[in-house]
């Protein structure tokens, strides 16, 4: 919106255009801020549920700790501690704990299915009519979701990590920590754009839930959430390491544990960034093409 | 609406003492078979959905199996000198699948529905029927697609037993289904008790989560729980909430030789099954007494 001010009038046409541009940007920022605030408030309604749910999510780790303990015990011989795919017992448990952090960034519960549902029931029309960008809107919603989640989950996470501190051999170097944080942020973006792209498939197929289930299954098995993908043998392992899924859980955790270093680390981060770009583009393109073939009826 | 009797069975009983005894006394087997047939008809109406459900749950089983086979590429057994080598553990896994698929097929859809009945007040209709309410609530719907995992488990069991040097004896084979039944009974009791708590809690959306987290402890041989934290855990999940005996007892019976059996614990499992059923029955009755209809 343009506000008439005496100073701009004297500057002539270019000044007016600048003012329009500037106030336009401010209006847009205000819109985004409002969206973020609404989402934040929405999320805080269920904070009690959140905190309890977060703590419960660590329970399977208790059985995993004992299971791996027994596996390593069977392998142990006198002398040095046994390793599996290069992981000692402590590192293995630390890995599982770290993937919980990774999943806290990269998992997007319900994103793809919500997009597909909105396409199917026609709710998507509002993004076509109102001057709000669907992908931007959803991204901000997720940022708000995650921010609230971290605030509420910080307590349970801190508690669990404190109790399990003996599985870690200390804090990594600041540069490693920085790379870890960078890859976590990118894993959030990758998770978002990947799921958004999947949701856009709803423009072509009405029912995508079984497709999403297959994706979830693959993602669970191949992202490193279930086990470090270093364990996968031969050709199969090579294929899995070429997929973008590993950046959702395995990659950040492996950085923290110092399994990926030096040149390999730089390349890994660049590849992750590349995958983010690819899926950001795909989500956009799918939305553009989808809207072209979409037809909405009724009010 | 005030419910006087926790179970409508007594109501049926009173009437059956009256003029038309035969027509009002329900045949539980007949009712169960009708439920089974209706569920199958419903499943077959959406046939492709049924097939997709089967495939997805089989895929999930496959991934689980893949994970454990991967782990056994790196280690000879679970724990030292416990006897749980790769094929023994696969028998254990197949046992887990047998029990879980039975519970999921027969009770899981109903327990979820039970919470919903309480929340919406539709439980009134179940209470009015002249049949035991717990029976009606527990077996109303059968998820036939979950039984695909049962078939998968049969395959896995055959494959693993084929790698055994010595096959289990007659006593073991006869006792195995008995203990599978005990395991199902314990898990059922736990599930229906959890579902019944929604009378007091209003809603119970985390029921499935909670269920998953508790049964998670039953998935591995109990020998893995040892040490300062492990031993109390093992004790708690054996004697207080007996989920550890659910899979462990039948699996051990079939997978390990007779000398390695824990007979006292096997006896305890029988007791635990009966006690669990009894306790869950009490919780269920209590829940019905506290039920205040939400519908009218």
Q: What angle do CA A258, A263, A269 make, to 5 degrees?
A: 75
What's the pLDDT at B204? 57
For residue A7, pLDDT beyond 60? no
A70 with B224: Cβ contact below 8 A:
yes
What's the pLDDT at B23? 56
Rounded average pLDDT over B1-30? 53
Q: What percent of chain B has pLDDT over 90?
A: 42
Q: What percent of chain A has pLDDT over 90?
A: 38
Top pLDDT among A148 and B62 is at B62
CA distance A152 to chain B (A): 18
CA distance B27 to chain A (A): 39
What's the pLDDT at B212? 82
Partner residue opposite A74 with nearest CB, options B63, B80, B209: B80
What's the pLDDT at B13? 45
Rounded average pLDDT over A179-184? 96
CA B278, chain centre distance (Å) = 15
A67 with B220: Cβ contact below 8 A:
yes
Rounded average pLDDT over B202-218? 74
Residue A3 — pLDDT band, cuts 50, 70, 90?
very low
For residue B8, pLDDT beyond 60? no
Report for A43-57, A229-243, A244-258, B21-35: range of highest mean pLDDT:
A244-258
Chain A, 84 to 103: residues with Cβ < 8 Å from chain B are 84-85
Residue B85 is given by DSSP the state B
B52 with A210: Cβ contact below 8 A:
yes
A56 with B209: Cβ contact below 8 A:
yes
Q: What is the mean pLDDT of chain A?
A: 85
For residue B21, pLDDT beyond 80? no
Q: What percent of chain B has pLDDT over 70?
A: 88
Top pLDDT among A45 and B23 is at A45
For residue A194, pLDDT beyond 90? yes
Rounded average pLDDT over B207-214? 77
What's the pLDDT at B1? 39
Which of B112, B280, B117 has its CA nearest to residue B199? B117
- A24-59 pLDDT tens trace: 888 878 887 887 888 777 767 766 666 677 777 888
| pTM score, whole prediction | 0.82
On chain B, the residues whose CB falls within 8 A of the CB of A75 are 74-76
Q: What is the ipTM of this complex?
A: 0.83
Partner residue opposite B217 with nearest CB, options A63, A226, A232: A63
What's the pLDDT at A17? 61
Rounded average pLDDT over A220-225? 90
Concatenating the DSSP letter of every residue in B170-184 gives: HHHHHHHHHHHHHHH
Cβ-based burial of B238 (10 A; exposed 0-12, middle 13-18, buried ≥19): buried
H or E element, residue B185: helix B170-196
Q: Are A75 and A84 in contact (CB under 8 A)?
A: yes
- A90-147 pLDDT tens trace: 999 999 999 999 999 999 988 999 999 988 888 888 888 887 888 988 998 898 888 8
For residue B241, pLDDT beyond 70? yes
B80 with A221: Cβ contact below 8 A:
no
Strand partners, A84: A87
Q: What is the mean pLDDT of chain B?
A: 85
């Amino acid at each position: 919106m343009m506000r008439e001010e005496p100073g701009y009038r004297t500057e002539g046409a270019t000044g007016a255009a600048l003012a329009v541009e500037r106030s336009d940007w401010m209006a847009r920022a205000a819109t985004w801020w409002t969206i973020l605030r609404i989402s934040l408030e929405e999320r805080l309604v269920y904070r009690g549920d959140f905190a309890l749910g977060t703590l419960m999510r660590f329970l399977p780790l208790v059985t995993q700790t004992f299971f791996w303990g027994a596996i390593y015990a069977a392998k142990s011989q006198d002398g040095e501690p046994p390793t599996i795919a290069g992981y000692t017992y402590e590192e293995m448990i630390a890995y599982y704990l770290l993937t919980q952090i990774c999943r806290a960034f990269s998992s997007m519960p319900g994103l793809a299915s919500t997009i597909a549902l909105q396409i199917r029931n026609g709710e998507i029309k509002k993004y076509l009519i109102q001057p709000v960008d669907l992908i931007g809107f959803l991204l901000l919603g997720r940022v708000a979701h995650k921010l609230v989640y971290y605030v509420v989950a910080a307590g349970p996470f801190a508690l669990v990590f404190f109790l399990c501190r003996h599985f870690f051999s200390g804090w990594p170097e600041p540069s490693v920590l920085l790379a870890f944080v960078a890859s976590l942020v990118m894993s959030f973006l990758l998770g978002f754009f990947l799921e958004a792209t999947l949701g856009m498939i709803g423009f072509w197929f009405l029912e995508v839930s079984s497709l999403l289930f297959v994706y979830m299954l693959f993602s669970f098995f191949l992202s490193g959430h279930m086990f470090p993908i270093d364990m996968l043998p031969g050709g199969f392992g090579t294929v899995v390491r070429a997929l973008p899924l590993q950046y959702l859980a395995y990659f950040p955790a492996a950085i923290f544990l110092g399994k990926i270093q030096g040149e390999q680390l730089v390349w890994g981060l660049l590849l992750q960034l590349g995958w983010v770009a690819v899926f950001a583009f795909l989500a956009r393109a799918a939305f553009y093409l989808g809207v072209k073939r979409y037809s909405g009826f009724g009010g | 609406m005030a419910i006087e009797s926790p179970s409508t069975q007594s109501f049926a009983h009173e009437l059956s003492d009256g003029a038309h005894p035969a027509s009002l006394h329900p045949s539980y087997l007949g009712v169960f078979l009708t439920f089974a047939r209706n569920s199958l008809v419903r499943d077959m109406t959406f046939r492709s959905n049924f097939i997709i459900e089967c495939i997805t749950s089989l895929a999930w089983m496959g991934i689980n199996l893949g994970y454990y086979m991967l782990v056994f590429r790196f280690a000879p057994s679970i724990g030292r000198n416990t006897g749980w080598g790769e094929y023994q553990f696969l028998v254990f896994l197949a046992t887990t699948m047998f029990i879980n698929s039975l519970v999921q097929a027969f009770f899981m859809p109903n327990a979820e529905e039970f919470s919903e009945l309480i929340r919406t007040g539709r439980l009134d209709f179940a209470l009015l029927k002249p049949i035991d309410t717990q029976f009606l609530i527990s077996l109303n719907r059968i998820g036939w697609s979950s039984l695909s995992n049962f078939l998968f488990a049969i395959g896995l069991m055959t494959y693993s037993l084929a790698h055994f040097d010595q096959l289990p004896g007659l006593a073991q084979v006869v006792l195995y289904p008995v203990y599978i039944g005990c395991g199902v009974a314990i898990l059922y009791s736990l599930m229906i008790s959890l579902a019944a708590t929604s009378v007091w809690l209003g809603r119970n959306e985390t029921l499935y989560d909670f269920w998953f987290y508790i049964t998670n402890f039953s998935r591995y041989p109990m020998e893995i729980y040892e040490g300062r934290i492990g031993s109390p855990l093992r004790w708690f999940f054996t004697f207080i909430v007996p989920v550890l005996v659910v899979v462990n007892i039948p699996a051990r019976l079939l997978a390990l030789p007779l000398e390695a059996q824990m007979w006292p614990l096997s006896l305890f499992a029988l007791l635990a099954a009966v006690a669990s059923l009894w306790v869950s029955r009490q919780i269920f009755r209590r829940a019905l007494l506290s039920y205040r209809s939400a519908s009218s």
